Each structure stands twice: as C-alpha cells, then as structure tokens.
Amino acid sequence: MQITEVNDKKIKVSVGLLIERNKILISSRKENKIYNRLWEFPGGKVKKNESTVNALRRELNEELSINIDLNYTELYSNYSYKYKESCVDLYFFTCMKWTGKVFPLEGQKIEWLKKNEIKESRLLPSNITILNKIKNDLLI
C-alpha cells in the first residue's frame, strides 16, 4: 500500500490480507516512502478506470510475485482514513489462495504472523482499524 503526498485528494487503495496457516502477511514499507519505518498489509493505489480487485491483483503480482485466485478473494472491509496530506479510501480483501511463491520483489521485508502477534505500533496508522477488526474476528 503506497501513500503519496497529495493535498485534499482522495486516493483509492486496495490491500490484501493474505492468509495462510492461520497467519497473515505484513510487509515493511520501502525506504524512500513516507512512514518508511512502519509495516503494512500489502497492496497499492488503484489506477484510473481500474477496479479495486484488479488493482489488488496487479499490486500483489508486482510486489510479491503471486497471482491471487479471485474465487478465494473477497472484500472484507473498507473505510476512509485521513492523513495530514491526503485522504485514503482503503479496500481490504481476504486472499486465501494464490499461485506462485510469495517473494518480495521490491526489497521489502515480509513476515507471516498470527493476528495476535501483530503490534499496532508497527503498522501504518491507517491499518490499525482493520487490525482491530481482524483481532476480533473468529474466522481469521
């Protein structure tokens, strides 16, 4: 998920909650990005005329070298988050099946963690709401 400095502009972002063996993937932010010391759930900006699920498919392929199976991918939650520099519309999808081996193609670190192992202080502020929902959800 990338957040770019844009004044008074909404940015649409698709985010993948990759779930495997009761663990969820988080990834570090790139060194040259804002909030680069924090972690996030992988994903990125939706391009003009692109659907949120197609953006997710593209972003996870570009970032992690995987192709998500849309039969096992569904919208889990969405909300808006206001940063100083922008407002982000976030679309979180659960991804239960994909092809390819998860491999960080952009130099980011990745970790598979149980939902209760993820510390709020490590995540982007915009990801805290979804983390709290995940922690209270018995299905994930």
In this prediction the pTM is: 0.89
The answer, yes or no, to whether residue 79 has pLDDT greater than 50, is yes
pLDDT of residue 8: 52
Tell me if 1 is assigned to some domain.
no
C-alpha torsion angle, residues 62, 80, 123, 107 (rounded to 10): 20
Tell me if 5 is assigned to some domain.
no
Cα(75)–Cα(12) distance, rounded to whole angstroms? 14
- Percent share of the chain, pLDDT over 70: 94
- Closest residue by Cα to residue 26 from 14, 36, 44, 38: 38
Residue 111's φ and ψ, nearest 5 degrees, are: -145, 140
Handedness of CA 110, 29, 73, 137 (dihedral sign): positive
pLDDT of residue 33: 79
- The number of angstroms, rounded, from the C-alpha of 129 to the middle of its chain's C-alpha atoms is 13
> Average model confidence (pLDDT) for the chain?
91
The token duo for 120 is 């709020």
pLDDT in tens, 62-77: 999 999 999 999 999 9
Tell me if 69 is assigned to some domain.
yes
Tell me if 3 is assigned to some domain.
no
pLDDT of residue 6: 40
pLDDT in tens, 16-42: 999 999 999 999 988 777 888 899 999
Tell me if 35 is assigned to some domain.
yes
pLDDT of residue 70: 95
Give the residue numbers spanning the domain of 102. Answer: 10-136
Instruction: Count the neighbouring beta carbons within 10 Å of the beta carbon of residue 55.
Output: 20
Domains held by the chain: number: 1
Cα(40)–Cα(60) distance, rounded to whole angstroms? 13
Give the pLDDT band of residue 2 (cuts 50, 70, 90): very low
CATH number of 72's domain: 3.90.79.10
Tell me if 18 is assigned to some domain.
yes
Tell me if 22 is assigned to some domain.
yes
Cα(58)–Cα(53) distance, rounded to whole angstroms? 9
pLDDT in tens, 3-19: 444 445 789 999 999 99
Tell me if 2 is assigned to some domain.
no
Give the pLDDT band of residue 1 (cuts 50, 70, 90): very low
